[in-house]
Amino acid sequence: MNGYKNSIPNNIKGFATNKFWSDLKKEKFMYQTCDDCGSPIFYARVVCPDCMSENLSWNEAIGRGKIYSFTVIHRTSLPGYKEDVPYAVGLIDLEEGIRVMGNIIGWDAPETLRIEQNVSVTYKRVSDEFTFPVFSVVEEEKSNEY
Ligand SMILES: [Zn+2]
């Protein structure tokens, strides 16, 4: 696919993360859980960071979460990103209990972004090899309005 001008680190894939990247191409956001202590794990690893167990399972995340923190980039010296400003990068807490970094899309003005705002995962295909997860702002439900 053409048009993605930004660099992708050449060591982004590894033994533990290959499944994550290949399933993103199928628009599935996968994370691991520990079969022994139950901890949700992200990013992908070969041992549980909580109990060192090697018994890990893959699960598909529903893809709903809330913004834990974010920043809006208004200026950049990186040529590939100049067309994208302003853009938002955030830490997203998914319902499965994992925290993920990614771009936040679907907003009109930076000042409309909020901590704890609802987002859902969507997918941005950037090359034949890579699809990135991005997080789209979800309109608030009417029942949440007063
Ligand atoms: Zn564990």
Question: Does the pLDDT value for residue 1 go beyond 50?
Answer: no
Instruction: Report d(CA 59, CA 96) in Å as an integer.
Output: 10
Q: Assess if residue 4 is contained within a domain.
A: no
pLDDT at 135 over 60: yes
Structural domain boundaries, residue 122: 62-139
Specify the pTM: 0.87
> Distance from the CA of 20 to the center of ligand 1, in angstroms?
19
Separation of CA 51 and ligand 1 centre (Å): 4
- Distance from residue 41's CA to the centre of ligand 1 (Å): 9
Round to whole Å and give the CA distance between 19 and 134. 18
Where b means 16+ CB within 10 Å and e means fewer, 88-122 reads bebbbbbebebebebbbebbeeeeebeeebbbebb
C-alpha 139/C-alpha 107 separation (Å) is 10
Note the pLDDT tens digit of each residue in 73-88. 999 988 888 888 999 9
CATH of the domain at 86: 2.40.50.840
Tell me if 3 is assigned to some domain: no
Query: 35: CA distance to ligand 1 center in Å?
Result: 7
Residue 71 within any structural domain of the chain: yes
Q: Is 63 within 8 Å of 101 (Cβ atoms)? A: no
84 found inside a domain? yes
- Section 99-121 average pLDDT: 96
67 and 51 within one domain: no
How many angstroms is it from 53 CA to the middle of ligand 1? 5
Among residues 60, 80, 100, the one where a domain terminates is 60
pLDDT the model gives residue 87: 95
Query: 60 alpha carbon to ligand 1 midpoint, in Å?
Result: 18
Q: What pLDDT shows up at residue 142? A: 53
Give the pLDDT band (50/70/90) at residue 2: very low
Ligand 1 centre distance from Cα of residue 68 (Å): 24
Instruction: Looking at the structure, tell me whether residues 49 and 105 fall in a common domain.
Output: no
- For residues 47 and 83, membership in a common domain is answered with no
Compute, in angstroms, the gap from residue 43 CA to the centroid of ligand 1: 14
Count of domains forming the chain: 2
Stretch 49-62: mean pLDDT: 98
Q: What percent of the chain has pLDDT over 70?
A: 92
What's the gap in Å between 52 CA and the centre of ligand 1?
6
Percent of the chain exceeding pLDDT 90 equals 74
Task: For residue 20, give every residue at least 6 positions away whose Cβ sits within 8 Å of its Cβ, in sequence order, or none.
Answer: 30, 31, 43, 44
Q: For the residues 27-37, what does the mean pLDDT come to? A: 98
Q: Ligand 1 mean position to 34 CA, how many Å?
A: 5
| Residue 143 predicted with pLDDT over 60 | no
> According to the model, what pLDDT value does residue 62 have?
97
* Whether residue 52 sits in one domain with residue 108: no
Residues 88 and 133 in one domain: yes
